[in-house]
Structure 1
Amino acid sequence: MPAPSTRDLIVKEADVLFYQSGFEATSFADIAAAVGISRGNFYHHFKTKDDILDAVIAHRMERTRAMLDRWQTENEGPRERILSFIHMLIANRSQIMNFGCPVGTLCSELAKLDHAAQVHATGIFGLFRDWLAVQIRALGAVDRAEVLALHLLAWSQGVAVLATAFKDEAFICNEVAGIEHWLESLPEGPRNSSN
């Protein structure tokens, strides 16, 4: 595997800094220092902070698609696939308690800034929504798939926000158990692993 390019390193470090410190609070100097390059070298790759933001959002979209594809192939049925989504809250609980959801915090910050990239960032939520709707349809809730997918996405975002506010790991675990119980209550239609 080839070593990442300087551009790739800039995007990776900017992604972390935008998540942990926020887009607005992160400077060119912060990113250049994290990568270990001069500001002059930095400007060779990105002219503006908005250029970096676009690259970070594209990077997150790519990672999200890869994760959804992995869940699709690794799990036998739609219920197990949805559980992979739900269990992200447990797997990432330390980061969520410290910094929130990476997608939710970025979308919220960009909305407050009335930033043009907010629509693009919201596309990551769209990937989750559409993927969850496919899984819920496969469970048999065809007429309500989109509504239930948004409900589940909203529930997970609410958990992330309150986990950040209260720093309460038990709360996350209890809510995940509640979501699992809700998922069990959904009817399951015929299994089709290609969905």
Structure 2
Amino acid sequence: MSASNTRRQIVDVADRLFYEHGFEASSFADIARDVGLSRGNFYYHFKTKDEILAAVIAQRISNTRAMLETWEQDTESPSDRILSFVHILIANRTKIMAYGCPVGTLCNELAKLDHVAKDEAAGLLTLFRNWLAGQFAALGRDADADALALHLLMRSQGVATLATAFRDEQFIRREVADIEAWLRTECSAALAADSRHPA
């Protein structure tokens, strides 16, 4: 296996372990074990756990940008793009019930630790915030686009937190339906115009 492939595998494994067990609870030894590397070979790629964390955050940002770009390319309507974000709660419900939101849990943990990477991790939420604000602006809600984006982020993070606590899939589905109804109410005029005049 090439060095670049090994590095990518380390980042993938670390990403999973940080999500499932937390950054602080996941050790070098845990990551090396799951990758199948000796400690010596592991240190060739990463000298510190903070270096791995930086690579994990960078990969998550890259993957999130790619996902948002796919929604932009594949979905004509801003309202349907917003729904693509909302429906992440359904698509990832099993993992969310087990471990929470991967973005929210990492941001919360690093903030509690006052870790130097906390702002970089929060950049994931900022990425979603700015993208959602752009979709609301495209629906004619320029004046409060950012407030709507923050409200939707708050709702989705709240759903993920309670879904983890109660392990209740029907709760997730009810909340997603309620968010869909909220979206229709908030942007009813723009949604009607959007459906009459597709891009």
TM-score w.r.t. length of structure 2: 0.93
Q: 1: CA distance between counterparts of 2:80 and 2:107? A: 28
1:176: which partner in 2? 176
2:79: which partner in 1? 79
Letter in 2 for 1:188: A
1:63: which partner in 2? 63
Give the alignment of 1:121-136 within 5 angstroms: 121-136=121-136
Q: 1: CA distance between counterparts of 2:31 and 2:116? A: 22
1:34: which partner in 2? 34
SS of residue in 2 equivalent to 1:76: coil
1:188: which partner in 2? 190
Letter in 2 for 1:97: M
Q: 2: CA distance between counterparts of 1:144 and 1:101? A: 26
Structure with more helix by fraction? 2
Letter in 1 for 2:123: G
Residues 14 and 193 (structure 1), Cα distance of their counterparts in 2 relative to 1, 3 Å cut: farther
Q: Is the 8 A contact 1:11 1:55 kept in 2?
A: yes
Q: 2: CA distance between counterparts of 1:3 and 1:116? A: 27
Moved over 3 A (4+): 189-194
SS of residue in 2 equivalent to 1:5: helix
1:6: which partner in 2? 6
CA offsets 1:52-105 (integer angstroms, 9 cap, x no match) = 000000000000000000011111110000010000000000000000000000
CA offsets 1:133-186 (integer angstroms, 9 cap, x no match) = 000011111100000000000100000000000110010000000000011111
Q: 1: CA distance between counterparts of 2:68 and 2:103? A: 15
Q: Is the 8 A contact 1:78 1:193 kept in 2?
A: no
Q: 1: CA distance between counterparts of 2:3 and 2:16? A: 19
Q: How far did 1:4 drift?
A: 6.2
Q: 2: CA distance between counterparts of 1:149 and 1:80? A: 15
1:165: which partner in 2? 165
Q: How far did 1:193 drift?
A: 7.5
TM-score w.r.t. length of structure 1: 0.95
Q: 2: CA distance between counterparts of 1:38 and 1:193? A: 56
Q: 2: CA distance between counterparts of 1:114 and 1:126? A: 18
Letter in 2 for 1:33: R
Q: 2: CA distance between counterparts of 1:138 and 1:188? A: 9
* Unmatched runs of 5 consecutive residues or more in structure 2: none
* RMSD after superposition: 1.7
Residues 114 and 180 (structure 1), Cα distance of their counterparts in 2 relative to 1, 3 Å cut: same
1:113 aligns to 2:129 (yes or no): no
* Unmatched runs of 5 consecutive residues or more in structure 1: none
Q: Once the two structures are aligned, what percentage of the paired residues are identical?
A: 61
